[in-house]
Structure 1
Amino acid sequence: MTAEPTPPTAAAPSVPPVSPAFRAAYGQALALWPVPVEPLTLDTEFGTTRVNACGPADGPPAVLLSGGGTTSAGWYARVAALARTHRVHAVDLMGAPGLSVPSGRPLRRPADLMVWLDGVLTALGAERAALLGHSYGGWLALGYAVHAPDRVDRLALLDPTQCFAGFRAAYLVRAVPLFVRPGEDSARRFLAWESRGGPAVAPELVRLMGVGGREFRGRPVTGPRPDVAHLGSAAPPALVLLAGRSRAHAVRRVAQTAGRTLPGARIVTLPGTGHHALPELRSAELDRRLVEFLTG
């Protein structure tokens, strides 16, 4: 951590190696945001990180970490409510689909992810921040809370994977085409299966996931479940929001394990919602729960 954080800049120092098709799909998804977006480019030792920011410049920072195979644009349904009270920073994960550009030290292990997120917070000028993570982003957020509890003000996990239970076998089998035949058709079929019976994923995000899967063929850096027992009394206040129709994992098992291993955490299950649709669920109840939690 540096003594004087470097402020973010909106001037991109390099051009992301993405196709016009991906850039167009990204722009269409970002156009779903109901509030003005300020694109930021942050320098870290692993490359440049794209952050989509909104909300009052002097608001307390809230950092949003998206799921695997998705981008920061997918938070469009949450940002309006969060931006009323916080300076929102939605991050494109390094090495994943998005406009972050790996151009420095290779990011290979979970420990590298923690150092990268250290650098992102420092570049944002945030000594402490609320972390909100969905799916894989929940794993990253919880892991970072274990890594640097002094920098995490509050922790909101939206249907986090590989934190309190493993993936269901059927989910992994259904996800195979995303890797062997990546593209819009594979993404559409997979997301339609996972969200069946509940709200669907927006077409713009389905398209972006398909195009991104075709262009970003690397698998995200992952590792074991975060050792939350290591937190002890340093654990930040936590909210775990589960998708009642999630096919990614056994929801009851996740709720039970989260309640047992994160003392004091609020565990809420939202009925009728699938795993991938949760971040973009148009829900006044979800907005209210998040804002009340983040504002204490």
Structure 2
Amino acid sequence: MSARTTPSPARTAAFLTAYDALLARWPVQVEHLTVRTPHGTTRINACGPSDGRPLVLLHGGGATSTMWFANVAAWTAAGHRVLAPDLIGDPGRSVHDGAPLAGVPGLLGWLDAVLDQLGLPRADFCGHSYGGWIALEYALHAPARVGRLALLDPTQCFAGFRPDYLLHALPLFLPRRTAARARAYLDWEAGDGPRPDPGWREVYALGYADFPATRVVTGPRPGLDRLRSLTTPTLALFAEHSRTHHAPRVAEAARRALPEATVAVLPGLSHHHLPMAGAAEINARLTGFLAAPRG
């Protein structure tokens, strides 16, 4: 069960300043939408033509919806109505002041409610990291509401975490959360690859330090039978240097589970920075995938 969180304004002032500064870097006009669900108020950063094909973006844990700054211009230019919510209970401008999520069904029910309030019977989905797991679970939960599904270095979908990754991530769950601890984790995960974007790195670090800790809603990896029941056209892109998992092995597991999916490993990229450092290739691949006719 996920605890409800109403963060203190005094604690979150620096985070919200960093959040707004990164959102100001989005190279398109952004609309700030809010919808009320049984679990609280959800903030959605929206852009693109109001009558465009809806594309819901689900960010990774702690990353906030601001992380898509390098992607939204290409996707809106392709005619998509981009809708990027802040996950309920996560750092961001969504406020979890309603009912507890009560596990995976509650999390998926929250997403049902968001789509209902936006008046969307169907949308395409793109999720990164933890957001990829949510997007995949949602496609299995409500296949009629997901047109196409894109997964960017998704975790806990086709394989588990590397043991050494869990060891390095463990300090994030210890008491006395500090921004310095989050920055060190991001820098370690980047390895020898591109450095984290400084503005996004600060949003992540301050959100980690200044929001009350919540129990992340997780569940078991989807079993092979469930994965093979998925009929939604799927694109899965993995970061070659991701430290969360061994990308080539996870990509092969995805191909076995979803033989009709398009699966690729993108060279030179790490887990957290895939959508930013790899923006040119990811933007082109996703635009082409969404435009392809369904067979």
TM-score (norm 2): 0.91
The counterpart of 1:101, out of the listed 95, 98, 103, is 95
- How far apart are the structure 1 equivalents of 2:178 and 2:7? 20
- How far apart are the structure 1 equivalents of 2:214 and 2:202? 19
Listed as ranges, the gaps of 5+ residues in structure 2 are 1-5
- How far apart are the structure 1 equivalents of 2:140 and 2:45? 25
Change (3 A) 1:233 1:167: closer
Judge conservation of contact 1:146–1:228 (CA < 8 Å) in 2: no
Q: CA deviation at 1:250?
A: 1.2
Query: In the alignment, what sits opposite 2:277?
Result: 281
Q: CA deviation at 1:25?
A: 1.5
Q: Name the SS for the 1:102 alignment partner.
A: coil
Q: Name the SS for the 1:258 alignment partner.
A: helix
Query: In the alignment, what sits opposite 1:60?
Result: 53
2:66 corresponds to 1:73: yes
CA RMSD after TM alignment: 1.6
Within 5 A, what are the aligned runs for 1:106-125? 106-125=100-119
Judge conservation of contact 1:58–1:87 (CA < 8 Å) in 2: yes
2:215 corresponds to 1:222: no
**Alignment deviations for residues 136-187 of structure 1 (CA, whole Å, 9 cap, x no partner):** 0000000000000010000000000000010111111111222224222112
Count of equivalent residues: 282
**Alignment deviations for residues 195-228 of structure 1 (CA, whole Å, 9 cap, x no partner):** 1221121111111111111223113111111346
- How far apart are the structure 2 equivalents of 1:226 and 1:77? 30
Judge conservation of contact 2:71–2:279 (CA < 8 Å) in 1: no
Judge conservation of contact 1:136–1:161 (CA < 8 Å) in 2: yes
Query: In the alignment, what sits opposite 2:3?
Result: none
Judge conservation of contact 1:133–1:139 (CA < 8 Å) in 2: yes
- How far apart are the structure 2 equivalents of 1:141 and 1:87? 17
The counterpart of 1:30, out of the listed 23, 40, 63, is 23
Q: Name the SS for the 2:71 alignment partner.
A: helix
Judge conservation of contact 1:146–1:226 (CA < 8 Å) in 2: no
Within 5 A, what are the aligned runs for 1:93-242? 93-180=87-174, 181-214=176-209, 215-227=211-223, 229-230=225-226, 232=228, 235-242=231-238
- How far apart are the structure 2 equivalents of 1:17 and 1:39? 21
Q: What percentage of residue pairs aligned between the two structures are identical? A: 52
Query: In the alignment, what sits opposite 1:264?
Result: 260
**Alignment deviations for residues 26-47 of structure 1 (CA, whole Å, 9 cap, x no partner):** 1122122111111110111111
TM-score (norm 1): 0.91
**Alignment deviations for residues 238-267 of structure 1 (CA, whole Å, 9 cap, x no partner):** 000100110000112211111111121000
Q: Name the SS for the 1:83 alignment partner.
A: helix
- How far apart are the structure 2 equivalents of 1:252 and 1:270? 10
- How far apart are the structure 2 equivalents of 1:76 and 1:204? 11
- How far apart are the structure 1 equivalents of 2:84 and 2:131? 11
- How far apart are the structure 2 equivalents of 1:104 and 1:45? 6
- How far apart are the structure 1 equivalents of 2:48 and 2:224? 31
Paired letter, 2:201: V
- How far apart are the structure 1 equivalents of 2:152 and 2:230? 21
Paired letter, 1:218: T
